[in-house]
Amino acid sequence: MKVAYFTMEIGLSENLPTYSGGLGILAGDHVKSSADLGVPLVAVTLLYKRGYFVQNLTPDGDQLELYPLFDPRAFMEPLPLKIRLNLYGRTVAVGVWKHNYKGMKSSVPVYFLDTDLSDNTEEDRLITQYLYGGDDHTRITQEAVLGIAGPQVLKRLGEKVSTYHMNEGHAAFLTLHLLNELGDIDAVRNLCVFTTHTPVPAGHDTFSYDLAREALGDFLPANIKELAGTDKLNMTLLALNLSRHANGVSELHGQVSREMFPGYDIGHVTNGVHHLTWTGPEFKNLFDQFMPHWREYPEVLATAHRIPDELLVQAKLKAKRRLINYVNSFTNAGLSEEFLTVVFARRAAAYKRATLFFSDMERLLNLSKVRVQFIFAGKAHPKDGAGKELIKEIIHEGMRYEGRLKLVYLENYAMWLGALLTAGSDIWLNNPRRPREASGTSGMKVCFNGGINMSVQDGWWREICRHRGNGWAIGDDEDTPDEETSQDFYDVLEDAVNTYYVNQAKWINIMKNSIAECCPYFNTHRMVKEYAEKFYL
Ligand SMILES: *Cc1c(COP(=O)(O)O)cnc(C)c1O
């Protein structure tokens, strides 16, 4: 019997453009750790042949979105199988591709659903073409393909499923499919578990009932409003009502979710990262040498203090050199491997507050004098005008203080660049508006590469941070206004710069604590085991 993991996006490698950010990469890491641990899992997702988008930036800081066509044949095989769905009163054919992810103990098949088939109209061929493109109409259609065709694919392939795991509400139509099949709410609830990732009400997918009826017709049960909300069809409510377990992705996010959806029993499983994917070659070597069982048991990294200081410093320098070489060759920025390197890389969304950074230019320029350099990266969603303005603002600040502030904005933040940045950074900066970062995972990657987090106490970081012990905390364990956070941020950054240049022993100690305290827990081996023990069995 298997766990079927349903996800709207999946980031398995930079070779597959089927992810946009954290949610997808988490799904990929979930699959990888399951395969390493031998957890019997299959995954179902969509094949976006034009992916999310490739980001180019003009010299003036405008984001250009390119959608090159992806050829999947080197990474997956088409299966001789088609599901026919009734959508908008017409038939849409859904094809399936299989990618087999081989882990240390077992393989996990990942099924990619695809409507780009000659049976379909030109319009329907585009249903699965773009990730998070289009409007509500496209979105509900994609979610129908995932949630309604998905379980039928598994059945036709003979996969015996004992648990359906919905990664976010996008897949919640599968509960209605099961309800049609089994005719009994309790039977459906017994089969389903649900992970929510969204800490704000507006982030949860909702559709008008008019649109839902138009798209899905009598697939919707008569009591749909009891299951999914009276005003709109809320995918999160639907999933909550038809799951035997529900969880948020960090302790704080679990709390926030319970407040958002009172009356539901929502726990938490804090996210992790797949350590074998996100540890760069330099630290892989180091860990192999001093903690050889870390690949199978990342918890042994708790003994990171046995790594000799010189080797740790050398490994970090080597990883940083890879990053600096890349940046210099693309941007002419003349960054130095000797400078303290602060990286801010994440989705360009307003709540991530990238521009807090510039609120006191004098203090920032003073820091720049003492050899600090800053690297930014991140895509804005094509429809997020405010996000695009943020990118532009950062690039313009860089130009305005050219020569006085070492700052670059790199294009096309994606898995490959994410790995390079998390491996090469000394400090990984994160100042979201609390509690908007449900968990965050990029800072965990940093720990596996001897980097140090400097972050607001949100998501995963508030569960482990010890200020000036294993990294830096910006602010206390509470929600604070922007001005307060920005003052704290400069204080903390000045302290870190001082530590880096004046007290190397202390810096190395923080590096080691970051590895020893964060890595044993914030990995997907621990996370998948937790899901298996709490939710799958
Ligand atoms: C790890 C990673 C993310 C997730 O990062 P957070 O900002 O911590 O949510 C997003 N995008 C890429 C490319 C990543 O590698």
Cα gap 191→187, rounded to integer Å: 7
Per-residue pLDDT reduced to its tens digit, 177-188:
999 999 999 999
Q: How confident is the model at residue 408 (pLDDT cuts 50, 70, 90)?
A: very high
Q: Is the pLDDT of residue 261 over 90?
A: yes
Confidence of residue 370 (pLDDT cuts 50, 70, 90): confident
Q: Which residue has the CA at smallest separation from atom 11 of ligand 1?
A: 21
User: Atom 5 in ligand 1: which residue has the minimum CA distance?
Assistant: 442
pLDDT, residue 464, reads 98
- The answer, yes or no, to whether residue 484 has pLDDT greater than 90, is no
Mean pLDDT value across residues 247-255: 98
* d(CA 418, ligand 1 centre) in Å: 7
Instruction: Indicate the length of the chain as a whole number.
Output: 537
The ligand 1 atom at the shortest distance from the C-alpha of residue 440 is: 8
Q: Per-residue DSSP letters for 15-35?
A: T-----SHHHHHHHHHHHHHH
The verdict on the CB of residue 298 being under 6 Å from ligand 1 is no
**Would the CB of 451 count as within 6 Å of ligand 1?**
no
**Does 422 have pLDDT greater than 90?**
yes
| Cβ of 518 less than 6 Å from ligand 1 | no
Instruction: Spell out the domain ranges in the chain.
Output: 2-272+526-536, 275-521
Does 353 score more than 90 pLDDT? no
CATH of the domain spanning 2-272+526-536, picked from 3.40.50.2000, 1.10.340.70, 3.20.19.10, 3.40.640.10: 3.40.50.2000
Q: Which atom of ligand 1 is nearest to the CA of 347?
A: 7
State which of 346, 412, 413 you would mutate to test the pocket of ligand 1, scoring each by most atoms of that ligand within 8 A of its C-beta. 346
The three-state secondary structure class of 537 is coil
Q: Give the pLDDT confidence of 300-330 residue by residue, as tens digits.
A: 999 999 999 999 999 999 999 999 999 999 9
Q: Which atom of ligand 1 is nearest to the CA of 441?
A: 8
Q: Give the C-alpha separation, 299 to 280, whole Å.
A: 18
483: pLDDT confidence band, cut at 50, 70 and 90? confident
The DSSP secondary structure of 378-431, one letter per residue, reads -PPPTT-HHHHHHHHHHHHHHHHTTTTS-EEEES---HHHHHHHHHH-SEEEE-
- Find out whether the beta carbon of 442 lies less than 6 Å from any atom of ligand 1: yes
Q: What is the pLDDT of residue 51?
A: 94
Atom of ligand 1 nearest to the CA of 417: 13
Query: Measured at the alpha carbon of residue 275, what is the angle toward residues 24 and 52, in degrees to the nearest 5?
Result: 20
Residue 501 CA, ligand 1 centroid: distance in Å: 29
Give the tens place of pLDDT for each residue, 101-160: 999 999 999 999 999 999 999 999 999 999 999 899 999 999 999 999 999 999 999 999
Q: Best substitution site from 30, 197, 442 to test ligand 1's pocket, by max atoms within 8 Å of Cβ?
A: 442
Average pLDDT for 334-363: 91
Give Rg (Cα) of the chain.
Answer: 23
pLDDT at 531: 98
Which pLDDT tens digit goes with each residue over 162-171? 999 999 999 9
Confidence (pLDDT) at 355 = 81
Q: Which of 245, 253, 252, 323 is nearest to 282 (CA)?
A: 323
**Per-residue pLDDT reduced to its tens digit, 11-57:** 999 999 999 999 999 999 999 999 999 999 999 999 999 999 999 99
User: Does the C-beta of 423 come closer than 6 Å to ligand 1?
Assistant: no
The helix/strand/coil state of 221 is: coil
485 falls in which pLDDT band (50, 70, 90)? confident
354 pLDDT more than 90: no
Does 453 have pLDDT greater than 90?
A: yes
CA of 21 to the centre of ligand 1 (A): 5
Q: Which atom of ligand 1 is nearest to the CA of 20?
A: 11
pLDDT value, residue 382: 96
pLDDT over 90 for what percent of the chain?
Answer: 93
pLDDT digits over 55-91, tens only?
A: 999 999 999 999 999 999 999 999 999 999 999 999 9
- Taking 90 as the threshold, does the pLDDT of residue 337 lie above it? yes
On the 0-12 / 13-18 / 19+ scale of CB atoms within 10 A, 191 is buried
329 contact partners, CB below 8 Å, separation of at least 6: none
Domain pair 2-272+526-536 / 275-521, same fold: yes
Nearest ligand 1 atom to alpha carbon 459: 8
User: Which H/E stretch holds residue 65?
Assistant: strand 63-66
Ligand 1 contacts CB of residue 25 (under 6 A): yes
The mean pLDDT of the chain is 96
Residues forming a β-bridge with 165: 5, 193
Q: Is the CB of 272 under 6 A from ligand 1?
A: no
pLDDT at residue 102 in the model? 98
Q: Do the Cβ atoms of 451 and 512 come closer than 8 Å?
A: no
Residue 356: pLDDT above 90?
no
The alpha carbon of 449 and the centre of ligand 1 are apart by a number of angstroms equal to 15
Q: What is the mean pLDDT of residues 510-530?
A: 98
Q: Does residue 358 have its Cβ closer than 6 Å to ligand 1?
A: no
Nearest CA to ligand 1 atom 15: 418
Which residue puts its alpha carbon closest to atom 9 of ligand 1?
440
For atom 13 of ligand 1, the residue with the nearest CA is 414
pLDDT of residue 407 exceeding 90, the answer is yes
Whether domain 275-521 has CATH 3.40.50.2000: the reply is yes
